[in-house]
Amino acid sequence: MKQILVIIIMLFSTPAWAEYEQPSYKVILEQDKFSIRDYSEVIVVETEVVASRRDATSEAFRKLFRYISGNNEANLEISMTSPVAQTLTNQDGEIGENWAVRFFLPRSLSEENIPKPSETGVAVVKLKAQKYGSVSFKGTQNDKKVSENLAKLEAFIAENDYEVSGPPVYAFYDPPFIPWFLRDNEILLPVIANQINSENPGGYKTE
């Protein structure tokens, strides 16, 4: 009985990632678990690893966590943010390919005050403003679930007169101690609007 109560409380409690700062974006279009978002310019700390899609984040996490824990030229501790994101640096997702894994840096850090990493293979990178199509889902990011959601996202993007302009970004919102069935995930695809697309700038919703 106690276990059931714990699960019920967890299901209806605030998600663990809600306490962490997230990148700024405006919602252009939203339908169920799908959306088109306009992300602001953002600065990340990232590292590249050679791994499978499912192993990339776990292999890179320690390096990035050491950076925000003070392993930088200023010995500065930096707040954790959400999500942790990963994307291919090429178009092949097989084992042995390069993945860029990223932590988003807090907006409270001005560009000139962001410390340089002390560890080889870690870099501070500015990502330009970009529109993304996104799909949200819970649970694990196994290959079947990723493939199904990616196909649905591509269809949603095409139906709304956008075109995919780059490889997927996989976003993980929850820490490892969260049960797998409660974890929040997203897949994002960079997009550009078709010429026939009729956006409504006045209809933005701010996140």
pLDDT tens, residue order, the chain (207 aa): 555 444 444 444 445 545 789 999 999 999 999 999 999 999 999 999 998 888 999 899 999 999 999 999 999 999 999 999 999 987 554 545 899 999 999 999 999 999 999 999 999 999 999 999 999 999 988 899 999 999 999 999 999 999 999 999 999 998 778 888 889 999 999 999 987 665 454 443 444
pLDDT at position 204 = 39
pLDDT at position 154 = 98
Domains identified in the chain and CATH numbers: 18-40+130-207 (no CATH), 42-127 (3.20.80.10)
User: What amino acid occupies position 5?
Assistant: L
Q: For 89-106, give one letter per residue: b (16+ CB within 10 A) or e.
A: eeeeeeeebebbbbbbbe
Instruction: Determine contact, residues 67/119, Cβ cutoff 8 Å.
Output: yes
- Residue 157: alpha-carbon gap to chain centroid: 18
pLDDT at position 194 = 87
pLDDT at position 206 = 40
- Please name the residues in contact with 81: beta carbons below 8 A apart, sequence gap of 6 or more: 20, 21, 22, 23, 103, 104, 105, 106
Sign of the dihedral defined by the CA atoms of residues 175, 170, 83, 152, in that order: negative
- Residue 21: alpha-carbon gap to chain centroid: 12
Gyration radius (Cα) of the chain, Å: 18
